[in-house]
Structure 1
Amino acid sequence: MQTIIYGGDAYLTGDDIADALLAYGRALGEEVRAELVEIPVREPDGAVVTAKFLIGPASQIVAKEMPDGGPELEDPELVDRLRTLTRGVESPTGAQVEMRDDTTYDLG
């Protein structure tokens, strides 16, 4: 588990979620763009809620390892979506092209 420190508050979330959020924030910052991202976080009472983060060039986010943060928060679909969004910002691509041998090539 990792604690995300944002705007003076701390938010406990899963390792993969925190890493994907930071990577997306870095990519957006390089492109001088900002986006609103929702991630699951664990409250001190153990409840899991959604937190919204505005990330972009002015974001100051820190993630810190929390060895005893409870069961790992996981959201593979969110992590995949954030990684896809990050790749889209870092390397915008065009449509895939199908070749005659039925192989699909990603031109990005």
Structure 2
Amino acid sequence: MKSVSYAGLTFETADEIADALLQLAAALGVNERSETVDIPVVEQNGDLSSVQLVIGPASQFISKPVTSPYNEPASAEVVERLTYRTRLLDLPRAAAISDSEIGRLDFDSPA
């Protein structure tokens, strides 16, 4: 289990979820985008709950391993969703160019 601190809130979640969350936050920062995510957490009494976070370019997370007597929340589906969202940020995107830039393009030379 890992303890994650963000925006004055500290919560515990599965190792894999914490790692995937930090990877998504880093990718969002590089792409200058923000998203909301729901993360399953373990409350101090062991109850399962969730937190909803807005993460983006200015997000600053701290994550550290902790020992807990409680079971980690199920992580496979959450990790898959976070990883998918991270991968989407790595896909190439089309970009508009101005008329003046079109004249400078050389379509016959290799890239």
Q: Which has the larger share of strand? A: 1
Per-residue CA deviation, residues 3-59 of structure 1 (Å, 9 max, x unaligned), is 110112210000011011110010001000000000101111111111011111011
- Identity across matched positions, percent: 40
Structure 1 residues 69 and 26: CA distance shift in structure 2, 3 A:
farther
Say whether residues 1:83 and 2:60 are aligned partners: no
What is the CA RMSD across the aligned residues, in angstroms? 1.4
Q: TM-score w.r.t. structure 1 length?
A: 0.80
* Corresponding residue pairs, total: 93
Q: Which amino acid aligns with 1:21?
A: L
What residue in structure 2 maps to residue 96 of structure 1? Answer: none
Deviation >3 Å, runs of 4+:
none
Letter in 2 for 1:23: Q
AA paired with 2:77?
E
**Do the aligned partners of 1:12 and 1:69 also contact (CA within 8 Å) in 2?**
no
Q: 1:59-98, aligned counterparts within 5 Å?
A: 59-68=59-68, 70-92=70-92
How far did 1:73 drift?
2.0
1:4: which partner in 2? 4
Residues 42 and 72 in structure 2, CA contact (< 8 A), matched pair in contact too: no
Whole-angstrom distance in 2 between the partners of 1:50 and 1:80: 17
Distance in 2, matches of 1:69 and 1:41, equals 14
**1:32 matched residue in structure 2:** 32
Of structures 1 and 2, the larger Rg is shown by 2
Structure 1: runs of 5 or more not aligned: 94-108
